[in-house]
Amino acid sequence: MKIVDIVTQTFHYTSDIVRDSEGHSHPGPAHDAKQTLLRIVSDSGVEGYAFGAEAQAIQQQVKPALLGADPFYRERLWQMLRERQRLYPALLDRVLSAVDCALWDLAGRALNVPVYQLLGGYRDQVKAYASTMCGDDLRDGLDAPESYARFALQCKARGYQAFKLHTWQPPMPGAPDVRRDIAACAAVREAVGPDIVLMIDPFHYYSRAEALQLGRALERLDFYWMEEPMDEHSISS
């Protein structure tokens, strides 16, 4: 089997999710959004797909390198593209990731086997949890601890047995605030009861002292995990 074509297709859709100046997602007015689909085509007619490819890098660097290659040699192709990154700055990790995902997808379709089984399947089902966007100041949004509690109850009514909060983050006025985060977590725990699994993804630049303060409160509230409370690149943290 050989790769005979690599195609990027750009399409538009309506989205009601916006990002603030810090990159956090919030509900917002409906607007036109753009997404890209990567297609890797084999000479047998089997194709692999992945979202998020950057068309220019795919067409200028990836396609010339992969045409004629065996799509099952995923590791060799990934290593080859990784080596090219020093010469082609547009070959970002997310470009290599899209190519790798599309090659795995192609292999699964060619063998008629789910990719998770090709990777070494462990289970046939995974648990799901409900998750919020970041806190906001929108009416009927996530503007107060009680708002998180109401939304958690709605998710519980839909059958979710676990719930994760994303709390207020800059540039929201007054954010971040450990005490406000704790209040939201406490309100949710009180609303859903002791048997629902709870988690939080707080502000990712809290200090070590702030993270410890939040963690001690979460311990008392029987939270399952706290996700990235400090700078992920800080070795000392």
Instruction: Tell me which of 19 and 3 has the higher pLDDT.
Output: 3
Q: How far is CA 127 from the centre of its chain?
A: 16
Per-residue model confidence as pLDDT tens digits over 210-233:
999 999 999 999 999 999 999 988
Is the alpha carbon torsion for 205, 208, 213, 217 positive or negative? positive
Give percent above pLDDT 70 in the chain. 100
Residue 25 has pLDDT above 90, yes or no: no
Instruction: Tell me which of 73 and 53 has the higher pLDDT.
Output: 73
- Angle, vertex CA 163, rays to CA 222 and CA 15, nearest 5: 150
**Strand runs (DSSP E) across 117-168, as ranges?**
130-131, 162-166
Q: Coil, strand or helix: which one is 151?
A: helix
Which CATH superfamily includes the segment(s) 130-226? Enolase-like C-terminal domain (3.20.20.120)
Burial 177-186 (b: 16+ CB within 10 A, else e): bbebbbbbbb
Q: What is the pLDDT at residue 148?
A: 98
pLDDT confidence bin for 235, thresholds 50/70/90: confident
Is the alpha carbon torsion for 231, 136, 214, 160 positive or negative? negative
Asked which of 22-26, 91-95, 189-193 is least confident by mean pLDDT, the reply is 22-26
Beta bridge partners of 47: 41
Q: What is the CATH number of domain 3-118?
A: 3.30.390.10
Cα 225 from Cα 227, distance rounded (Å): 6
Residue 234 has pLDDT above 90, yes or no: no
User: In the chain, what are the domain boundaries?
Assistant: 3-118, 130-226
Average predicted confidence (pLDDT) for the chain: 95
Residue 124 has pLDDT above 90, yes or no: no
Give percent above pLDDT 90 in the chain. 85
Cα 189 from Cα 86, distance rounded (Å): 49
Mean pLDDT of the region 46-68: 94
Residue 41 has pLDDT above 90, yes or no: yes
Same fold flag, 3-118 and 130-226: no
Mean pLDDT of the region 85-102: 94
Beta-sheet strand order (sheet of 225-226): 130-131, 162-166, 197-201, 225-226
Residue 149 has pLDDT above 90, yes or no: yes
Q: Coil, strand or helix: which one is 109?
A: helix
**Strand runs (DSSP E) across the chain, as ranges?**
3-19, 25-42, 47-51, 130-131, 162-166, 197-201, 225-226
Q: What is the pLDDT at residue 26?
A: 84
- Angle, vertex CA 205, rays to CA 196 and CA 168, nearest 5: 50
The H-or-E segment that residue 96 falls in is helix 93-111
Q: What is the pLDDT at residue 22?
A: 84
Residue 53 has pLDDT above 90, yes or no: no
What is the rounded (10 degree) CA torsion for 113, 107, 47, 103?
130
